[in-house]
Amino acid sequence: GDSVTQMEGPVTLSEEAFLTINCTYTATGYPSLFWYVQYPGEGLQLLLKATKADDKGSNKGFEATYRKETTSFHLEKGSVQVSDSAVYFCALTSGTYKYIFGTGTRLKVLA
Amino acid sequence: NAGVTQTPKFRVLKTGQSMTLLCAQDMNHEYMYWYRQDPGMGLRLIHYSVGEGTTAKGEVPDGYNVSRLKKQNFLLGLESAAPSQTSVYFCASSYRPGGYQETQYFGPGTRLLVL
């Protein structure tokens, strides 16, 4: 079945460092891909999405490119801030009722 | 719009007690979901609904029941709570997967502690 694998955390970075959180997937068909962010004590919020190969999703300085050849959707940000500290989830849907989530990667940014 | 709301925010139960978690959405979404979130396990789907009056089992349905009597509400029931049901419960909704409005929207969560 469909699955999402993302790098285990925690990831600890200094402010202004470059961020990469890896996400790979297996899916039948042509899934849509998502990154969600969860701040402490809150629900998940959509960060960005991409619906077809080579699409780039972007929001708040974060970017991710849908790579069909490597089945990847890595999250990047050029310069992280303390306020980016959160848990990040990669997810996909293949058009059925199901959304498949990774286990989440905790990011901690130090001032 | 309030989006997705959940009631209550936090609850402590004793083993064997029952309770109902309420989820409400005001976006006219067809699909609604209940997940549980446990450390190191990500989100696991308990039950879902593809429309008013319909429900179906997800990955971990045992010990839970659901109802969707109105399109905007999705109730999750625990008939006889067990310590293994200590978790954070999230409700989510979406218009429909696979379409341009497929984004899932999440509620703020309910923290449940079963003693």
The alpha-helical segments, DSSP class H, found in A40-109 are none
Which run of H or of E encompasses A59?
strand A56-59
Contact B107 A45 (CB under 8 A): no
Handedness of CA B84, A103, A5, A32 (dihedral sign): positive
The pLDDT averaged over each successive group of 10 residues in chain B (115 residues) is 91 97 95 92 92 94 97 96 97 77 87 97
CB contact under 8 A, A89 and B43: yes
Q: Which of A2, A7, A101, A105 to mutate to test the interface with B (most CBs of B within 10 A)?
A: A101
* Residue A50, token pair as written in the block: 């991409």
Residues A17-64: pLDDT tens digits? 999 999 999 998 889 999 999 998 889 999 999 988 999 999 999 999
- Contact of B8 with B96, CB cutoff 8 Å: no
Min Cα distance A25 → chain B (Å) is 15
Nearest to B98 among A89, A95, A103 (CB): A95
Residues 6+ apart with CB under 8 A from B48: A97, B31, B32, B33, B34, B55, B56, B58
User: pLDDT digits over B49-67, tens only?
Assistant: 999 999 999 999 999 999 9
